[in-house]
């Protein structure tokens, strides 16, 4: 079984130790880095032989916030998927956090078992939404909102729309390739086109884009 390389960044040493201790006991996860600040993490990252695939990141830290760390990673290591885990969790922050490039935004009070599920979901699909987050997204979309008219350069192809809908159904690239009878590499190419055309930074952004532009029926998105 492939282990998911994970990093933990939090200025609360007890939180770091507790989360690391739990994750170290899980066969699916390999904690490859810990840090007590965003600056320390970014500094260690440049020396790291094995990069994390998923980063568990505190939101409010001294000097450099979780949002600032996420922004820096978008430039240097966009492949690292960020889960912001905060005691300052509010549903009203969700839109801003997702637009900032995070793959999931969760409260620190979440159970260890739920945290492990979320890590695996983000590693596999690139995003995770709590049920109440999806409910808010659905309720924010007016059924009377007009469908956007894209110019020719940004018009999504039928294949790209197919792939976007499957991404919203939590399908991975290999699963999409199997469903559509195409190569996984081809799926990744279409995903890159979707990022370029929509301006989304990750698959969470693609889901938000699809909901807001009524390219999918929000009620069909599965709740994890």
CATH of the domain at 184: 1.10.10.10
Burial of 48 (0-12, 13-18, 19+ CB in 10 A): middle
Q: What is the pLDDT of residue 142?
A: 45
Print the domain residue range for 150.
138-220
144 vs 181, residue with greater confidence: 181
The answer to whether residues 57 and 84 belong to one domain is: yes
Query: How many domains does one find in the chain?
Result: 2
pLDDT digits (tens, 9 = 90+) for 48-95: 889 999 999 998 887 788 888 988 898 889 899 999 988 877 766 676
Q: Which of 1, 63, 59 is nearest to 26 (CA)?
A: 1
Same domain, 10 and 119: yes
Please write the tens of the pLDDT for every residue from 154-163.
688 889 899 9
Whole-model pTM: value is: 0.71
Last residue of a domain, one of 128, 160, 178: 128
DSSP 66-92: HHHHHHHHHHH-TTSEEEEEETT--GG
CATH code, domain with 49: 3.40.50.2300
154-179: string of b/e by CB count within 10 Å (b at 16+)?
eebeeebebbbbbbbbbbbbebbbee
Per-residue model confidence as pLDDT tens digits over 114-155 = 999 999 999 988 888 887 777 776 665 544 444 444 444 468
Residue 133 in domain: no
**Same domain for 64 and 11:** yes
């Amino acid at each position: 079984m492939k282990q998911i390389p994970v990093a933990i960044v939090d200025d609360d040493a007890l939180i770091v130790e507790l989360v690391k201790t739990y994750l170290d006991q899980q066969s699916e996860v390999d904690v490859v880095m810990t840090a007590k600040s965003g600056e320390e993490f970014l500094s260690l990252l440049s020396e790291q032989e094995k990069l994390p695939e998923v980063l568990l990141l505190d939101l409010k830290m001294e000097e450099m916030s979780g949002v600032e760390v996420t922004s820096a990673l978008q430039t240097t290591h966009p492949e690292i998927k960020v889960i912001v885990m905060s005691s300052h969790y509010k549903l009203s922050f969700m839109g801003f956090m997702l637009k900032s490039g995070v793959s999931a935004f969760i409260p620190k009070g979440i159970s260890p078992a739920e945290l492990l599920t979320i890590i695996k979901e983000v590693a596999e699909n690139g995003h995770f939404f709590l049920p109440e987050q999806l409910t808010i997204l659905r309720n924010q979309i007016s059924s009377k909102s007009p469908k956007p008219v894209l110019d020719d350069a940004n018009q999504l192809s039928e294949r790209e729309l197919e792939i976007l809908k499957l991404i919203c159904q939590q399908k991975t690239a290999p699963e999409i390739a199997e469903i559509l009878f195409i190569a996984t590499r081809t799926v990744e190419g279409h995903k890159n086109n979707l990022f370029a055309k929509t301006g989304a930074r990750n698959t969470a952004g693609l889901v938000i884009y699809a909901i807001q532009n009524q390219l999918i029926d929000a009620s069909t998105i599965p709740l994890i």
